[in-house]
Structure 1
Amino acid sequence: MKNNKTINLGKGINLTLIPEEKFKSNLVSIYIQRILDRDEVTMNALLPSIIKSGSEKYPSAREMSYHQDDLYGVSIGADSSKRGESQVITFKIISTDEEYLDEKIFKKVVKYLDEVVNHPLVIDGGFKEEYVAIEKENLKNRIESIINDKGRYAVERAREEMFKNEKYGISDLGYLADIDKITAKGLYEHYVNIMKTSPIDIVVEGNFDEDEIVEIISNGFDFHRENIIEIPRADFIKKVDEIKVIKEEMDITQGKLVMGYRCNVDYKDEFKYYSLFVGSNVLGGGPHSKLFVNVREKESLCYYIYSSLEKYKTSMFISSGIESENYDKTVELIGEQLKSLKEGKISDEELLNSKSAIISSLKTIKDSLGGSSDFYFSQSMGGTNTTVEKIIEMIEKVTVSDIVEAFKNIELDTIYFLSNNKEA
């Protein structure tokens, strides 16, 4: 079995190679890190769709499509996402493994990705006005559509309130109020700065010759680099002075309750973090969990309930759909279940089911092309660089006392409730 390898290419660029022979395709991913910043987050959210709309050599979607067909149907994807207090802009290209072709195309594939990323379509010193206008409207629609998914909206609002004075509270989609201020020229100038100053990770996943790939990647990208920004580590320890309770009303039929907790655990203390992870699953990870069994099934207080962790801020959220009249009782019972967990009242069956669920999920990372790329980039970004196999080993070793230790400093920070009942 070949091992992953990470090579520093200089100028703030790292190359990670993930050998994987079971797929008939290869994947090249470019991850560009930015500090989550209210002043640029909306521009960053716009950029992926603008960049993949056209380049100098292939100025339209049609011309890009024709060239992609010439490369045996390569496909390009681009997006931006929030990871802790960073915003990551990602470009990906999937191509057929050369083993199944009559010619070598990987060098051409890299050249095409470089064309798209480093030579975007520029007219009169800015991106094409038409493309910018279209994508600004699309981004507006995406932001506005969040409110249609009331569960997601409630979680986003809870995060916004809980981390109001922290970067993690910034929406990775950006803000409607900022969209109309963005110009084609200003957006292009911002992109040029990003490409010069941001840490960049290139990840290649698939079946390849290592020496050949290193040479192609090292010489295949026309990055122009200057002083590279540092991405600071997010604060993860915070004392809760007062629990925030936010209640909002909307025309909905089912109330949405979200409770946010500060876990106060250093995710670089990996065994403690994965003990926290197992504990969160015991609490609200599925049909086997305390919240599901005791709040949903036994008391019939909610339509759904689950807990989730945010690694880089080591925060936990419990989300539930309830009737407004059940608000007080649900909050109380959730508190009781967490107290039970912290006291170590965890059955062998609860622990075993939680470990099995987590391990099964971890094993699926390698089932699809791209899963390993995203996983190992996230590990690198967090400075942990742990393998899937090592995490599974840690999960298997977690005991009830480990969970108790991991949860001992958890504190409720924010309760957010969205309902149509002003008396709730």
Structure 2
Amino acid sequence: MEVTRTELLPGVHLTAVQTKKFKSSVLGMQFLSPLAQETAALNALLPAVLRRGTVAHPDMERLSAALDELYGGTLEPTVRKKGETQCVGFVGSFLDDAYTLDGSAVLEPAAALLGELVLEPYTRDGAFCPDYTRQERENLVNRIRAQINDKRQYAQLRVVAEMCAGEPFGVDKLGDEASASAITPQALWEHYQKLLRTAPVEFYYCGSAPFERVEGAVRAIARRLPQGERTPVPHPVKGSAPAQPRRVEEALDVTQGKLAMGFRTGADAWDEDYPALTLVNAVYGGTTTSKLFMNVRERLSLCYYASSGLMKYKDVMLVSSGVEFDKVGQAQDEILAQLKNCQEGQFSDDELEWARRSVVSTLMTTLDAQSRLEDYWLGQSAAGLTEAPDELAERVEHTTREQVTAAARKLTLDTVYFLKGKE
């Protein structure tokens, strides 16, 4: 597996992964935009509207027919949050050229269709089609409203919003309902024109085609982008926890409490001690052999579930747990007690090695899944990082107990969010 990264134009890059491991190839194009309340919903809506039709294929039926001709390929709109960067665009999956029946090329026509989606949208009266905009706007509003239905995920969204209020990271990748509801075809069109001119662009390819062919196929799209200054998205600024943790409670019609706790880590993917932080997370709550799982959930039965997770491109770690309403205090105390154990180095050699094996295995299996590989490299590209999964795994392998303990000591509780039942 060979990874090549090149700049096609100022602010326009291609990351190509040459491999014969898969029978399909992946082709993607993403616009990178700083997360902001004013533009999040506009960005989130844009790829869905673009996917509705082009000049040559003005509806989804004809677009689907064009994809069917490419051995049943797919081109799906995506909206992702990588640190404080919002990434919007398309990811396509196509039969790899090595497996076509007659040796015909799929890469070039697939790239041409991707370029058509992004640069030749179906319009009416000089703006996006009103019907398409209205329908996709309603879908976006419904997606935003539906976030509350998954209470575990909702609690995590809420603790991030409270913890990072005033920081770009506190903005949801879909934007807010009020902003989404107010989007007009003309406003979306004007935003689209600005994005085309000013947003950094990331192309991605994974498949068996030689780099020269891939570069030629995506350069044909890149050269049609309007000229403008594409300013790199800035790195997130590290936050600092308040002297006393923020505490937020919300009451909804739930039968199980959701306790979400946000910690400042003092480190992120740009820092040398990031590998140690991944091991802290695994020892603490990131695996089924972690302290939260084995003690808070299994031994003490204080939670239905208890786990931790890192935000790779932001100095944030979240603990998520489901608790009985009357056990929330006990659960919180024990969650913090287990963190203290990590900070004092009170974990066995076996616990550390189980954590190490889990982190390394997760990184290495990224190489075996095209969707995870694409997502990994998008994050790295948005962050301006070039470390491959296996290279990060190698650093994890050589991380010491002392480094893990030192990284754990940087963790500071910032915000506690509790979703309780109505009285």
Matched, 1:418 2:419: yes
Q: Distance in 2 between matches of 1:323 and 1:105?
A: 54
Q: Distance in 2 between matches of 1:230 and 1:216?
A: 24
Alignment of 1:103-252 (within 5 A): 103-221=104-222, 222-252=224-254
Structure 2, unaligned runs of 5 or more: none
Q: Distance in 1 between matches of 2:385 and 2:71?
A: 37
Aligned to 1:404: 405
TM-score under structure 1 normalisation?
A: 0.96
Quick check: 1:240–1:411 contact (8 Å CA) kept in 2? Answer: no
Aligned to 2:8: 9
Q: Deviations over 1:14-58 (max 9, x none)?
A: 111100102122211112100001111111111121111101110
Residue type of the alignment partner of 1:48: P
Q: Deviations over 1:128-176 (max 9, x none)?
A: 1111111111112111111111111111111111011111111111111
Quick check: 1:18–1:373 contact (8 Å CA) kept in 2? Answer: no
CA RMSD of superposed structures (Å): 1.4
Residue type of the alignment partner of 2:123: V
Q: Percent identity?
A: 33
Q: Deviations over 1:233-274 (max 9, x none)?
A: 11124242331011111111000001111111253223x111
Quick check: 2:367–2:389 contact (8 Å CA) kept in 1? Answer: no
Quick check: 2:138–2:181 contact (8 Å CA) kept in 1? Answer: no
Distance 1:266 1:65, change over 3 A: closer
Aligned to 2:265: 263
Q: Distance in 1 between matches of 2:233 and 2:154?
A: 28
Q: Deviations over 1:350-392 (max 9, x none)?
A: 1111111112211221222232222122122223311111111
Alignment of 1:271-420 (within 5 A): 272-420=273-421
Distance 1:49 1:134, change over 3 A: same
Residue type of the alignment partner of 2:27: V
Question: Which 10-residue stretch deviates more, 385-394 or 373-382?
Answer: 373-382
Residue type of the alignment partner of 2:97: E
Q: Secondary structure at the match of 1:308?
A: strand
Residue type of the alignment partner of 1:45: A
Quick check: 1:306–1:320 contact (8 Å CA) kept in 2? Answer: yes
Quick check: 1:42–1:178 contact (8 Å CA) kept in 2? Answer: yes
Aligned to 1:47: 46
Q: CA deviation at 1:182?
A: 0.8
Q: Secondary structure at the match of 1:370?
A: helix
Q: Distance in 1 between matches of 2:68 and 2:421?
A: 52
Q: Distance in 2 between matches of 1:372 and 1:129?
A: 36
Quick check: 1:11–1:225 contact (8 Å CA) kept in 2? Answer: no
Structure 1, unaligned runs of 5 or more: none
Quick check: 1:255–1:321 contact (8 Å CA) kept in 2? Answer: yes
Q: Distance in 2 between matches of 1:285 and 1:409?
A: 17
TM-score under structure 2 normalisation?
A: 0.96
Residue type of the alignment partner of 2:418: F
Number of aligned residues? 420
Q: CA deviation at 1:229?
A: 2.7
Q: Deviations over 1:37-82 (max 9, x none)?
A: 1111111111121111101110001111111122222211111111
Distance 1:243 1:163, change over 3 A: same
